[in-house]
Amino acid sequence: MTTSPHAPSPAAPVASAPGGTAVASQPLRLSIAEDPHGPVDGAWWPRSRDLVTEVADLVDHFPVEVGRLDRLLFSRPDWDDPEGVATPRRVRAARGTVKTGSFPSDDTHLVVAKLASGRRVRLVVVPPGTSESEARGVMTAAGGPDNHRTARELLGLDTDQRDDLGHQAWDDDGAGATP
């Protein structure tokens, strides 16, 4: 007996977006560098923290000229984790099923999309509640030819100053971090 490479195994939870596919009323908010060479290849600004719906939308609307998504690794803190619901190991979309998994270290703020060609695309996940101007700035920077910043740096999460021992550095009046 042969099985399709995308057939779910009995042990792997499979989830589908509502109605079996993502319904995008608006274009996918995605930027991908033409010639990536930094720590990230672009950025994705999902509309919600619902992993299944957003991954299905990403799969269905990922630019065909870039490739077809086969697998997706995600950072757990970027997504809601409903109680009692197992994190899906596969998500069904109109274009097919994509395997999903999470990073061992959770604070990356990335999705890594493995394409059918074998190429990996590292995308900063811009939080859905981010203002349009901030999100567009992150997306432009992440997909830009001169980007050498990490996801955390692009999102402004590496801003606290620490001394060599890992303690918060304070200015002379104790009011905050030193620049």
**For residues 56 and 83, is the Cβ–Cβ distance under 8 A?**
no
Residue 34: per-residue pLDDT: 84
Residues 6 or more apart whose CB falls under 8 angstroms from that of 67 comprise 115, 116, 117, 119, 121
Residue 170: per-residue pLDDT: 35
CB-based burial, 42-71: b 16+ in 10 Å, e otherwise: bbbbbeebbbbbbbbbbbbbbeeebbebbe
Cα–Cα distance list, 47 to 14, 17, 118, 159 (Å): 21, 14, 27, 25
Residue whose entry in the numeric block shows the structure tokens 């919600």: 48
Could you tell me the pTM of the whole model? 0.75
Q: Is residue 44 part of a domain?
A: yes
Q: Is residue 31 part of a domain?
A: yes
Q: Is residue 164 part of a domain?
A: no
Q: Is residue 178 part of a domain?
A: no
Q: Is residue 98 part of a domain?
A: yes
Q: Is residue 111 part of a domain?
A: yes
Q: Is residue 145 part of a domain?
A: yes
Instruction: Tell me the residue range of the domain where 36 lies.
Output: 14-154
Residue 158: per-residue pLDDT: 75
Q: Rounded CA gap, 6 and 143, in Å?
A: 30
Residue 44: per-residue pLDDT: 97
Residue 167: per-residue pLDDT: 38
- Counted domains in the chain: 1
Residue 120: per-residue pLDDT: 95
Q: Rounded CA gap, 126 and 100, in Å?
A: 19
Residue 23: per-residue pLDDT: 46
Per-residue pLDDT of the chain (179 residues; tens, 9 = 90+): 322 232 333 344 555 555 444 444 589 999 999 887 889 999 999 999 999 999 999 999 999 999 999 999 999 889 998 777 788 899 999 999 999 999 776 778 999 999 999 999 999 999 999 999 999 999 999 998 888 899 999 999 876 544 343 433 333 334 443 33
Q: Is residue 72 part of a domain?
A: yes
Residues 6 or more apart whose CB falls under 8 angstroms from that of 38 comprise 147, 148, 149
Residue 25: per-residue pLDDT: 58
Phi, psi of 10 (to 5 degrees): -60, -30
Helices (H), 49-131: 51-61
